[in-house]
Amino acid sequence: MTHSAVAAFGRDAGRLSVGGVPVDRLAERAGGTPFFAYDRRLLTERVALLRATLPAEVKLSYAVKANPMPAVVQHLSGLVDGLDVASALEMRAALDTPVPPERISFAGPGKTDAELRQAIAAGVTIEMESENEADRVAAQGRALGIRPRVAVRVNPDFAVKGSGMRLGGGPQQFGVDCERVPALLKDLAQADVEFLGFHIFAGSQNLHAESLIEAQRRTVDLAVRLAGESPLPVRYLNLGGGFGIPYHDRDRPLDLAAVGANLAALVAGPIREGLPQARIAVELGRYIVGECGVYVTRVVDRKESRGKTYLVVDGGLHHQLAASGNFGQVIRRNYPIAVAGRVDDEPAETVTVVGCLCTPLDLLGDNVSLPRAEVGDLVVLFQAGAYGLTASPTAFLGHPAPAEMLL
């Protein structure tokens, strides 16, 4: 039980608790297992940590796609400065919060005309991913008689080392290549749109502060350069996110203080000088919610097979695809895992935890050291707050949907 994710949750006489309620009681409250439980206090503390570590000039936006549960979005809406959405449905969830539309940004490479129309009518900021999208935004704005609020997503000319996923540099489906942005800005100056600024984001799930620092420096440098060629003032710069969380035993947590210090230096230096009117934002999803949630399953079978012990649980990759190693990971490694009723016990055996699906892909913990668990015991997967339920094939094999609770 050394992983920091486990220690963050409460304990009550050897039982794991979320929001002060033991997990076994939550299972009764949910009407069964499996379920997701998110901890309101941990969400609040995570945003407070970001506020305390990043300079006040850097605004926080929550990327709803990481966890779109309405209660989570509502809770975070009172803590952050803005919300980022990736679809019309996410936009509607964001608009249902007190966050004003102009603090909601809408990104994504395949926005349809219908989605653009909804976004323009709502008054949110559209982060445009191509020249074609810029034309379509202007046309929809004219049709509606509303001046769209727009930013340009820029594909930088550099990548970020050490990112879990690369979203910038080289050819990309995201954004407009930075070398073509000046021409687009000239067009936008003539178009009937309200140009705000840039979204530049090069990679996600990065645990290396030095890589993020370099990316942020280069991003600001690029934004300053583009602002210099812009016929319109730059009033907005979304630096993206990419702050990683430690999923595996050997992962070292991100040095947030170093990232904060660098952002402070950027704000005091090149941003003050080159982007004096710009509202600066970082957009974080996983970093805010990822460590604040658990996925709780129950052991249905405990079986031996040729020297190996399996715990078969009633959940699986249909609810937690990433934990099974099947969502973008090159190498599968275990997420932190615990027996909910024995969090203070020492490991007693090596077991393999599998889900209930008829596929060998449904592997939740491979050869993990755990206290002994019997049929009926609850097994908890940590780091389940982001890209869990909605990033999983929930209809696969037709098992019931799990409950989600914010505590």
As measured in angstroms, the least distance from the Cβ of 84 to a copy of itself is 9
The angle at the Cα of 219, spanning 215 to 251, to the nearest 5 degrees, equals 20
Alpha carbon distance 142, 308 (integer Å): 66
Q: Tell me: does residue 397 bind a copy of itself (CB under 8 A).
A: yes
321 binds a copy of itself (CB under 8 A): yes
Residues whose CB falls within 8 Å of the CB of residue 190, separated by 6 or more in sequence, listed in order: none
Residue reference for tokens 């910038």 = 168
* Alpha helices for 145-232 (secondary structure H): 181-190, 209-228
Cα 35 from Cα 177, distance rounded (Å) = 42
**Which residue, 370, 353, 360, is CA-closest to 298?**
353
Which residue type, as a one-letter code, is found at position 259? V
| CA quadruple 264, 266, 272, 275: dihedral, nearest 10 | -130
**In the complex, least distance from residue 326 CB atom to a copy of itself, rounded to whole angstroms:** 6
- Binding range to a copy of itself, per CB under 8 A, among 7-15, 101-109, 217-225, 246-254: 101-109
**By CB under 8 A, residue 129 contacts a copy of itself:** yes
C-beta of 24: minimal distance to a copy of itself in Å? 17
- CA 230 to CA 248: how far, in whole Å? 44
Q: Based on CB atoms, which residue is closest to a copy of itself, 88 or 191?
A: 88
Q: Which residue from 2, 98, 306, 346 is in contact with a copy of itself, where contact means CB under 8 A?
A: 306
With contacts defined by CB under 8 A, name the span among 14-22, 141-149, 308-316, 340-348 that binds a copy of itself.
308-316
Please choose, out of 143-151, 187-195, 288-296, 355-363, the segment that lies near a copy of itself by the rule CB under 8 A. Answer: 355-363
Other C-beta atoms closer than 10 Å to the C-beta of 189 total: 12
Q: How far is the CB of 398 from a copy of itself (least distance, A)?
A: 3
* Among the listed residues 132, 190, 250, 273, the single contact to a copy of itself using CB under 8 A: 132
Whole-number Å distance between alpha carbons of 206 and 165:
8
Stretch of 89-97, 117-125, 210-218, 229-237 lying at the interface with a copy of itself (CB under 8 A): 89-97
Which of 165, 183, 268, 348 touches a copy of itself (CB under 8 A)? 165
**Interacting positions 210-239 with a copy of itself (CB under 8 A):** none
Q: 3-state DSSP call for residue 333? A: coil
31 interacts with a copy of itself by CB under 8 A: no
Contacts (CB under 8 A) with a copy of itself, residues 5-24: none
Nearer to a copy of itself, 145 or 400 (CB): 400
Two tokens at 159?
A: 């990548």
* CB under 8 A, 24+ apart: contacts of 175-179: 175/129, 175/130, 175/199, 175/200, 176/128, 176/129, 176/130, 176/131, 176/152, 178/154, 178/222, 178/226
Residue 74 touches a copy of itself, criterion: CB under 8 A: no
Determine, following the binding rule CB under 8 A, whether residue 155 of this chain makes contact with a copy of itself: yes
Q: What is the total residue count of the chain?
A: 407
242 is a contact residue toward a copy of itself (CB under 8 A): no
What lies within 8 Å, CB to CB, of 193 at 6+ separation is: 134, 137, 138, 141, 147, 148, 149, 150
Q: Give contact residues for a copy of itself (rule: CB under 8 A).
A: 65, 68, 86-90, 93, 107-112, 129-133, 155, 165-167, 170-174, 177, 300-303, 305-308, 310, 312-314, 316, 321, 326-328, 352, 354-362, 375, 389-400
